Structures are given as structure tokens and as C-alpha cells.
Structure 1
Amino acid sequence: MKKIKGFLRKIKKAFFNSIGKIGDFYNVKISPIISKVGHLLTNNFIIRIKHTEIIFFNKFRTKNTRKKRQTFYGFMFISIWLIGFLVFTLYPMIHSFYLSFTNSYFNMNTGISSTPAGFQNYLNIFRNQVLLPKYTQYFIKTFTTVPIIIIFAIIISILINQPVKGKGIWRTIFFLPVIIISGPVINELVAQGATTLPSFKNNSVINFLLINSGEWIANPIQSILETLLLVLWYAGVPVLVFLAGLQKIDKSIYEASAIDGASPWDNFWKITLPSIKPFIVVNIIYIVVTMSLFNEPDGILFYAREHMIKGSQESTFYYGHGFSAAMSWLYFFLMVIIIGIYVGLLTIRRRDDK
């Protein structure tokens, strides 16, 4: 035992010595470099930041308030993303928007050849008897699914936020589907029918409702019921976001409401829900984007990819890059409309509350 304790002491001493050496190396070598870089970023020919003012190009001066400093540091933190977006994303987006107004085809010898087409690609989408129902089904399915996921995520986050043992385990359980759905595993699960609930197909009440309603209502409802497990899997990240919001609410507010005789139901509508409204907006954007990026075997993204890859001037069915770009932009516009409707409803309600 003495030898083991001595060995452990040596390991502990070596570990702390290495930590000390790393700290000394950082203070001597790394910290001066970081200081010089910081000084260079805040004192150059473009911008000079002083304690009381900010100078641009040595001519334009503005007061350096606390709010402006916070704004500047915020832009500094996201500057890497902004540069990446401007360099790698903005030009492809503009180019694809241009291609959506052209008849563009790829040729191995000449590359992409384009001819102006105006709004012809968009009109062809509305005339297509296969693609137009796909857009309608996507819109209705996504629009009706978002509230289901939001409500489910709020309920689960409130339950996990209660003083119970094993919170970390439950968070992991609800977040595991996010890891699975982000890889090729989910495609295999969908292909094998592991994300469906067969009991819904055998339910007489649901079958009666589906039979006696129109196709534009029955098809989205049936699609949601058949992939209900997959829909609930999208709630992993929203649960964590709502949980973070719930943990920021001051507990003294609930104690004051309990003294006034408020019930848990009153606390939810008067305290909890108003406090997590900003997180609802964030989760709505996340859910719509995530659901839209899921490439279903017979979805809009699948058809857009087929037209882009197989499109050629000799093809009579696949209409090339221009048609594919128009499909993608129309898909994007529907995403923006869905997000705008829900965010608008929340914003209007918030203004009424004020």
C-alpha cells in the first residue's frame, strides 16, 4: 500500500508540475501574442478604440458608450461566421437565385450553359401535377407539426426541471435522437419503418376521419401520424433550450405567487410561458429548418437533386440546374412564410400584452 500511495503521489506531483509549466508557457509565450493581436484589432488605420470615443479612418469620431462596446464585442465573436458566410455562402445563394430564372444544363465539355427563361421555371412547378402537391403537403405538414413539437418540448422540459434525481440521464435520453437523426442511421430506420406507429393505421376512428376528409387535409394528417415518432425526435434540442430558459427564471417569483395563492396552472400561464416566449421563437426557427432539411425519399429535396444531377439537354423529364434552383428557392420561401407566420403571431400577442 505504501508503494501504491507513493506512486500516486508522484503522478499527482508530475501532473501539477506539467500544469504549472503549461501556465508559465501561456503567460510567457501565448499571452503577449494575444495582447498584441487584440491591440492590433482595436488600433489600426480602419478603427481605433479609445476609452471615450471610437475613430474610423482617423476622421470619423463617435462616442464609445458601454452599449456600443458590447455591440462591437458581439460582432467580433460572430465575425468568423460572417466572413465564412460572405466567402462561402453568399455567392452560391446569389448564383442559384440567378439560375432559377434560366434554363441551365450541365455538360461535361462546356460546363453549365444557361439561357434566360424568366419565370418559366416557377410556372412549370405550379403546372407540374407531381411537384405542386409535394409543396402543399410540405407546407401543411410542417405548419401543423411545429406546434406539436413545441408543446411536447415545453411539457418535457418542465418535467425535467422539477427537483427529481437523474436529471442528466433524462436530458441524455431526450437528446440521443438528435445524434441519431443527424446521420445516415435515420434513413435506414425510415426505410425499415422503425419510425412509424402501426397502431394508428388500425384505429377505426382515425381511419374514419381520414376517409371522410379531403386529400389536402387527410394526406398531411396521415403523414404526421405515420411518422409521429420521427416528429417527436425533433424535440431534443428544443427541450434543452426550454430547460435553459426555465432555469433562468428566478425562483422567488414562484414563491411570491404561492404566497398570493396562485395555483401551478396560474404560474404556468402568468410566469413560465411569458418567460420562455423568446425561446419559443428560437425553437420554431430551429424546428422548421431542421424538418425542411430532412431529405425524404420522395420529398422536394429529392426531386430537386434528381433534376440537378440528371438534367441534360437531351433529357425530356429532368429539367436541369435552373429548374432545380427554382424548386429550392420556392422551398425556401415556404420556410420563411411558415416561420414568419408563427413569429408574427407571437410578436402580435406580445405587443398586445404591453
Structure 2
Amino acid sequence: MNGKSSRRRQLLQFRWKEYGLGYLFMLPWMIGFVAFVAFPIGWSLWNSFNQVFITSEGFKYTWVGLDNFRRMLIENNAYPIILLTYLQEVLLIIPLILIFSFVVSLLLNEKFPGRGWMRALFFLPVIFATGQVIMELFVQGAGELPFMEQYNLDVILRQYFSETTASMLLGVLGKAVIILWYSGVQILIFIAGFQTIPKTVYEAVRVDGASPWESFWKITFPGMLPFIGLNAVYTIVDLFTFPFNPVLEIVRSNMFSPTTGYGYASAMAWLYFAIILLLLGLTLWLTYRATKGRGELR
């Protein structure tokens, strides 16, 4: 027993000498994570199972179990509709952003005069259109497309599609500017991904007589699958935290309502968070399955 405890102590000393300095460097981050991330998340989860009242003495908690979730899904007709509507819009916008950024990055990866300036031009919205800036731009109407009113697209879409489909399409068209503004990081990641594909592979298939179309589907697209998955994850997180997100607006309004409060709003937020985690998990799983057979994921 003494021999085992001595060896265990020596192993711990060895590991501390090897990794102790790294742990010390990580200590400020771990303290910050616990204080500013882990604790608020845990407190929010606790609130979702309670009815929270703000009194003169502070917060008062009354355990209600899953009652907040039941009220949110059954009694509240607005939240499930807003959540599903926004989810449908996001599921349409995400592929559009990925396709747009992929095509633009293909063009910007080619050699032509002024390529550096064009890359900077597509990345500029990421710098300027953030936070309060993008909110002010949308308030001033900069996020709307003028041709929608000029050509009466509202009337045309409602004439040929159902009310739900037309509203969804109009919502996506109304956010067409977002597709441009929210594609800068994705374009940058795709351009970096193109650099990882060796030029010698393209030269080899060109010697074998493969056309550019064939080389794209046999080399470029398979090689870019991990970066497509990465951009999909980034886009999901980016859009679900969009400043004009109607789901976050209704969560905030219920948080400060005297009839609902923090507990009810926390239940709303956790359902929203669960949907985001589900989409992220599905995206990572599809990326893993798509890249596993080609040996891209290690």
C-alpha cells in the first residue's frame, strides 16, 4: 500500500511539474468562466423551475417544477408561434449564407487585380455592422430592399403561395441584406480552407483530363466539408443571437413582467437554448459523417 501511494504521489508530482505551469496560465480563464458563465447558467436553470418574485428583501423563490414549461407551451400561444416562425426563417437563411459565402470565396480565391481590396470589401460589414451599429442601420431602414415595394412582391407571393409560406419567404427576402452583412467571417474561413488543398492535386487531375467541374466535385467540395460544417456552426450561433431576434425580445419582455418574471423567462430561454444545442449537435454529426469516409476528420 505504501509503495502504491508513493508511486501515486510521484505521478502527481510529475504531472504537476509537466502541466502545472499550463494550469496556472489557465487559472484566470477558469475563474472567469465559473464566475461569469457557469454560475449565471446554473442560476438560470434553477430559475426555470421556480416562480421568482422580486421583493424588498431580494429574490423570493417558489418551486413549481415543470409548470413554467407547461405554461409556456400550452397557455402561451405567442411564444411557440414566434419560436417556430423564427426557426423556419433561420433554417432558410443559413443555407443561403453558406451558399453565398462559398461562391464569393471561390471567386475571391482566384488571382485577379485588386483581389486584396475585394476581400477587404466583403469583410468590412463584419467590422461595422455589429451591435448598436446594425440596430441603428435597421431603424433607419438600411436593412430593407426597395424593390420589394416597387414590384409589389408582397401581393405576388401571397397570391401564389399560402399565407404561412408567403410570410416566411417575405421574411427571408426582407433579411437579404443580412445575408451579405453576415457572410464576411464565413468567406474568410472558406478562403483559408481553399489554401489547405494542395495545388499539386489539381495539377494531377488536370493531367488526367478532368474538367474544372469534375475537379470541383471530386477535390474541392470534399476538401471543404469540414469548413462548411465549421461555418454552419458559426452561422447558427450568429443568427440565433441576432440583435433583432424576436425570440430574445419576448424572453426579455417576460423577464420584467410582474405576471411572469425571471422563472418563466428562464424556461423560455432554456427551451430556445435546447433547440440551438440540437441544431449544433445535428450539424456536427452530419459534418462528422460526411468527412469520416474521406479521412478529413482526425
Which residue in 2 is equivalent to 1:324? 265
Which residue in 2 is equivalent to 1:244? 192
Structure-2 change in CA distance of 1:223 and 1:270 (3 Å): same
In structure 2, distance between residues paired with 1:186 and 1:306: 21
Are residue 171 (structure 1) and residue 171 (structure 2) matched?
A: no
| Aligned match for 2:59, one of 105, 108, 112 | 112
1:157 Cα deviation from its structure 2 partner: 0.9
1:353 Cα deviation from its structure 2 partner: 5.3
In structure 2, distance between residues paired with 1:168 and 1:79: 40
Structure-2 change in CA distance of 1:56 and 1:86 (3 Å): farther
Which residue in 1 is equivalent to 2:68? 121
In structure 2, distance between residues paired with 1:198 and 1:253: 45
Which residue in 2 is equivalent to 1:87? 35
Q: Would the aligned equivalents of 1:201 and 1:207 in 2 still touch at CA under 8 Å?
A: no
Structure-2 change in CA distance of 1:274 and 1:61 (3 Å): farther
Q: Give runs of aligned pairs for residues 22-33 of structure 1, distance below 5 A.
A: none
Which residue in 2 is equivalent to 1:348? 289
Q: Would the aligned equivalents of 2:50 and 2:263 in 1 still touch at CA under 8 Å?
A: yes
Structure-2 change in CA distance of 1:267 and 1:82 (3 Å): farther
Q: Which amino acid aligns with 1:155?
A: V
Which residue in 1 is equivalent to 2:50? 102
% same residue: 33
Which residue in 2 is equivalent to 1:141? 89
Are residue 217 (structure 1) and residue 165 (structure 2) matched?
A: yes
1:195 Cα deviation from its structure 2 partner: 1.0
1:204 Cα deviation from its structure 2 partner: 6.2
1:200 Cα deviation from its structure 2 partner: 3.0
Q: What do you get for the CA RMSD once the two structures are aligned?
A: 2.8
In structure 1, distance between residues paired with 2:159 and 2:284: 33
Which residue in 1 is equivalent to 2:257? 311
**Would you say how many aligned residue pairs link Structure 1 and Structure 2?**
286
Q: Would the aligned equivalents of 2:190 and 2:227 in 1 still touch at CA under 8 Å?
A: yes
Q: Give runs of aligned pairs for residues 27-42 of structure 1, distance below 5 A.
A: none
Q: Give runs of aligned pairs for residues 243-322 of structure 1, distance below 5 A.
A: 243-296=191-244, 299-308=246-255, 310-312=256-258, 316=259, 319-322=260-263
3-state SS, counterpart of residue 10 of structure 2: coil
In structure 2, distance between residues paired with 1:307 and 1:59: 53
- What are the superposed Cα offsets for residues 27-78 of structure 1, whole Å, 9 maximum, x if unpaired? xxxxxxxxxxxxxxxxxxxxxxxxxxxx974245999xxxxx9x99998887
1:329 Cα deviation from its structure 2 partner: 1.0
Structure-2 change in CA distance of 1:212 and 1:120 (3 Å): farther
Q: Would the aligned equivalents of 2:225 and 2:290 in 1 still touch at CA under 8 Å?
A: no
Q: Which entry has the higher C-alpha Rg, 1 or 2?
A: 1
| Aligned match for 1:335, one of 276, 290, 296 | 276
Structure-2 change in CA distance of 1:352 and 1:92 (3 Å): same
Which ranges in structure 2 are unaligned for 5 or more consecutive residues? 1-6
Q: Would the aligned equivalents of 1:198 and 1:226 in 2 still touch at CA under 8 Å?
A: no
In structure 2, distance between residues paired with 1:335 and 1:117: 25
Say which structure, 1 or 2, has more relative contact order (CA 8 Å, 6+ apart): 2
Structure 1 range deviating more: 256-265 or 201-210: 201-210
Structure-2 change in CA distance of 1:213 and 1:176 (3 Å): same
Q: Which amino acid aligns with 1:271?
A: I
In structure 2, distance between residues paired with 1:206 and 1:330: 32
Q: Would the aligned equivalents of 2:52 and 2:61 in 1 still touch at CA under 8 Å?
A: yes
Q: Which amino acid aligns with 1:262?
A: A
Q: Would the aligned equivalents of 1:104 and 1:320 in 2 still touch at CA under 8 Å?
A: yes
1:351 Cα deviation from its structure 2 partner: 4.2
1:235 Cα deviation from its structure 2 partner: 0.6
Are residue 195 (structure 1) and residue 143 (structure 2) matched?
A: yes
